[in-house]
Structure 1
Amino acid sequence: MATAHVGVSGWRYPSWRGDFYPHGLPQRLELTYAAERMTSIELNGSFYSLQRPSSYAAWRAAVPPGVTFAVKGGRFITHLRALREVETPLANFFASGVLALGRQLGPVLWQLPERATFDPARLAAFFELLPRSTAAAARLAARHDDKVADDRALTSCEVDVPVRHALEPRHESFDSDEARELCAAHGIALVVADSAGRWPVMRDATSDFRYVRLHGETELYASGYGDASLDRWADTCRAWIAEGHDVHVYFDNDARGHAPHDAVRLVRRLGLPTAE
């Protein structure tokens, strides 16, 4: 049965302390506190560097068993290599501990830089490399190089479950029928990105799930979402769920601390069960 997964992009922000997080809450408990009030968390540290299996295992252990994690793919793949010759970097990424999330692994997010234009051949080649199950990810992870030491690599999975992928392009050339058809042919969800008008908003379904990133309604990364906006997003989520699509929504308007409050308000509008 389709459902919604709602949370924040990252959780370790100093401005949240004493606001969303109570005064005196130990930093080691911040993820638990957030996850008890939401139903999903988007991991973004994985975008900046390869993590460790022990970190993924610790994050999983810190949240209720029903909470999922979306994992942001590495910028080495999307930004530095620009999706070219990335089979080994992909192996390193999946060997770095992603599989430690087990059944709580949600979609993998691939965010492209704003300068990246639509290149169908390059995208198709990248899509074909992406593992579509944890078993396939484990096989790919086994081909890692020495950037992930053998004693820090996880190349097996405790359970074989599907792995979904979402693409967040930030160039207007992706707002085309050709781009949508290519993503649909490979089952890749195009991210619905609300960015105060900065980047194109593409709402077409190109997979069996929807992935939404809310970067700020009127000011990028900074502004919050009012009641009317959250009501509209809740209605949209319900409509997508009625169509049989799982929905993943992550608030990235963290600069002034709005993200966690907005996420909790959307969770409540959707009536999602939490551990709070």
Structure 2
Amino acid sequence: MAVRIGISGWVYEPWRGVFYPKDLPIKRELSYASTKVSSIEINGSFYANQKPSTYQRWSSEVPEDFCFSIKASRFITHILRLRNCEKALINFFGSGLLNLQDKLGAILWQLPPNLRFDPEEFENFLKLLPQTFSEATQLADRSERYSRHYSDEIRNSSRKLKHAFEVRHHSFEDPEFVRLLKKYNCALVFADTAGKWPYMEDVTADFIYLRLHGDEEFYTSGYKQSSLLWWADRIRLWQSGTQPRDALTLTDSSPSKKKRDVFVYFDNDLKVKAPFDAIALMKILNPDQTDLFTGSPA
């Protein structure tokens, strides 16, 4: 099982000349970043549905063993607030993300901080989510905005989709929320937000999803070596099928002892900390890798 460590987004002006070489063309930033980390969270899909050709282009610019996670449309999560959103889901899956094929990691559903947990409404939304590529193409085919563009290979694929939920209202600190995630094999995002939003470590799916926004100052502060070592210890346990003894969980149930994929994304990008923290964590977990970027923040 894989541990994917990366960054949330890659187009940031302050990164130029610090993480990105000064003479690197903007159009080559994705290609460059994909050689330094093993995964990237696509943020553009949160603000607007992308084009099928855009996903195909992104896929062509990264190594074969690279993967993307997709931040789902805020129109679904923040505007519709998970209600009456079947048409929006149809267009989201019709926009081409399945063209990433083996390079598609997980789909992140980030809920707004003013959205309260409603068990019935939340389960109704979970029931709408496709569980495989094939199911997602059937949904996409109903789109009035996008033509039927997925290949037969994608249409016939039984590959499972991974859905992860990041919550930002304390009403989600509810065992019923954990139960619903487990029922539909959706991951609870372990989101380090410097204490700003809820933090829970219940394992609810066959994969783990972490978002590290900064442990002292939201979006801004970097991670000290001691903090990265702490996270590395937990990641090893989660990947192996166990969990830390001091795990902050809402329920007493232990996760099944099966190895899991782990996705870790650093989102402390304001002061160019994210790429360097990602690389440092990669080095801790893979000390034998010698081809990682060795620069440091200015």
TM-score w.r.t. structure 2 length? 0.88
* Corresponding residue for residue 216 of structure 1: 214
Counterpart-to-counterpart distance in 1, 2:184 and 2:286: 32
* Corresponding residue for residue 21 of structure 2: 22
The gaps in structure 2 that reach 5 residues or longer are: 242-258, 293-298
State the shift of 1:149 in Å.
3.9
Counterpart-to-counterpart distance in 1, 2:119 and 2:142: 26
The gaps in structure 1 that reach 5 residues or longer are: none
* Corresponding residue for residue 180 of structure 1: 178
Q: In the TM superposition, what are the counterparts of 1:198-209 in structure 2 within 5 Å?
A: 198-209=196-207
CA RMSD of aligned residues (A): 1.4
* Corresponding residue for residue 134 of structure 2: 135
Q: CA, structure 1 residues 139+115, in 2 after alignment: closer, same or farther (shift >3 Å)?
A: same
Contact 1:99 1:134 in 2 (8 A): yes
State the shift of 1:156 in Å.
4.2
Q: Does 1:154 align with 2:149?
A: yes
Counterpart-to-counterpart distance in 2, 1:201 and 1:111: 14
The structure whose RCO (Cα within 8 Å, separation 6+) is larger is 1
Question: Larger Cα Rg: Structure 1 or Structure 2?
Answer: 2
Q: How many residues align?
A: 271
Moved over 2 A (4+): 153-159, 272-276
* Corresponding residue for residue 245 of structure 1: 260
Identity %: 46
* Corresponding residue for residue 255 of structure 1: 270
* Corresponding residue for residue 167 of structure 2: 169
* Corresponding residue for residue 255 of structure 2: none
* Corresponding residue for residue 101 of structure 1: 100
SS at match of 1:115: coil
State the shift of 1:157 in Å.
5.8
Contact 2:91 2:146 in 1 (8 A): no
Counterpart-to-counterpart distance in 2, 1:24 and 1:218: 33
Q: Which moved more, 1:153-162 or 1:135-144?
A: 153-162
Counterpart-to-counterpart distance in 2, 1:268 and 1:102: 28
Counterpart-to-counterpart distance in 1, 2:121 and 2:177: 12
Contact 1:99 1:154 in 2 (8 A): no
SS at match of 1:158: helix
| Residue identity opposite 1:187 in structure 2 | N
* Corresponding residue for residue 279 of structure 2: 264
Residue deviations 1:119-171 (CA, integer Å, cap 9, x gap): 111110111111111111111100112xx243xx6344634211010001101
TM-score w.r.t. structure 1 length? 0.95
SS at match of 1:106: strand
Q: In the TM superposition, what are the counterparts of 1:104-123 in structure 2 within 5 Å?
A: 104-123=103-122
Counterpart-to-counterpart distance in 2, 1:247 and 1:154: 31
* Corresponding residue for residue 36 of structure 2: 37
